[in-house]
Amino acid sequence: MSDAKDTAIVEGRALVQDYSMPGSLFTGSKQVRALKGIDFRVAQGKTLAIVGESGSGKSTLARIIALIDAPSEGELLIDGQPIDITRRRPGPEMRSKVQMVFQNPYGSLNPRQKIGDVLTEPLVINTRVPAAERRERAEAMLQKVGLQPEHSNRYPHMFSGGQRQRIAIARALMLNPRILVLDEPVSALDLSVQAQVLNLLADLQDEFELTYIFVSHDLSVVRYIADDVMVLSKGEAVEQGSREALFADPQHPYTKALFAATPVTDLDAIRARVQRRKEAREGQTV
Ligand X SMILES: Nc1ncnc2c1ncn2[C@@H]1O[C@H](COP(=O)(O)OP(=O)(O)OP(=O)(O)O)[C@@H](O)[C@H]1O
Contacting residues toward ligand X, per CB under 6 A = 19, 21, 32, 34, 52, 54-60, 217
Query: Which residues share a beta bridge with 75?
Result: 13
Q: Give the span between the Cα atoms of 76 and 70, in whole angstroms.
A: 9
Q: Measure CA 181 to chain center.
A: 3
Sign of CA dihedral 142, 143, 145, 147: positive
> CB of residue 52 vs ligand X: minimum separation in angstroms?
6
Task: Let me know: does 226 contact 243? Beta carbons within 8 Å.
Answer: yes
State the first-to-last Cα distance of the chain, in angstroms, to the nearest integer. 19
Q: Which is nearer to ligand X, 60 or 220 (CB)?
A: 60
19 binds, among Mg ion, ligand X, none (CB under 5 to 8 A by kind): ligand X
Residue 141 Cβ vs ligand X, minimum distance, rounded to whole Å: 28
- Total of chain residues touching Mg ion, rule CB under 5 A: 2
Mask for 20-59, x = binds Mg ion (CB under 5 A)? --------------------------------------xx
From the list Mg ion, ligand X, none, pick the one residue 164 interacts with, judged by a Cβ distance below 5 to 8 Å according to partner type. Answer: none
**Paired sense of beta strands 73-78 and 236-242, if any:** unpaired
Q: With respect to ligand X, which residue has the nearer C-beta, 122 or 235?
A: 235
Q: Which of 57, 54, 58 is nearest to 18 (CA)?
A: 57
Query: C-beta of 58: minimal distance to Mg ion in Å?
Result: 5
Tell the smallest beta-carbon distance from residue 215 to ligand X (Å).
Answer: 7
Q: Is 232 exposed, middle or buried (0-12, 13-18, 19+ CB in 10 A)?
A: buried
| Contact residues: Mg ion, CB under 5 A | 58-59
